Amino acid sequence: MRATRTLKTGSVIGVSMTSFAVAEIGCDERDYDNWLGTLVQASERLDILQTVVNEMRRLCEREDVVQSRQVMEVLERHGAIT
C-alpha cells in the first residue's frame, strides 16, 4: 500500500485504492464461490426432496394404507437416508 501525506499536517490522507480493490475482489470472489457452492448443493437437495415428496404423494394416492417399509424404501432409493 502507498500512503500520501499532506504538506500542512504531515498526516496520512490516502492509501492506494488499487491495494484495497485487489483485497476486496479476492474476498468477494471467495464469498461468491462459497455462496454459489452452497446454492448449488441446496438446489440439488431440493430436487431430491421434491422427487421424494412427489413419489410419496403418488404412493399415498394409490394405497389406502402406506406401510413404514414403503416409506423407507422410497427414502433409501433417493438417498434421503442410509
Q: Which domain holds residue 47?
A: 3-77
Q: How far apart are CA 79 and CA 49, in angstroms?
A: 10
pTM, full prediction: 0.56
Looking at per-residue confidence, does 26 or 40 come out higher? 40
Alpha carbon dihedral 15, 20, 22, 27, in 10-degree steps, equals 160
User: Is residue 69, in this structure, part of any structural domain at all?
Assistant: yes
User: Is residue 82, in this structure, part of any structural domain at all?
Assistant: no
Per-residue pLDDT of 7-35, as tens digits, reads 444 444 444 555 555 555 556 778 888 89
User: Is residue 59, in this structure, part of any structural domain at all?
Assistant: yes
User: Is residue 51, in this structure, part of any structural domain at all?
Assistant: yes
**Dihedral sign, CA of 13, 16, 20, 23?**
negative
Q: How many domains does the chain have?
A: 1
User: Is residue 61, in this structure, part of any structural domain at all?
Assistant: yes
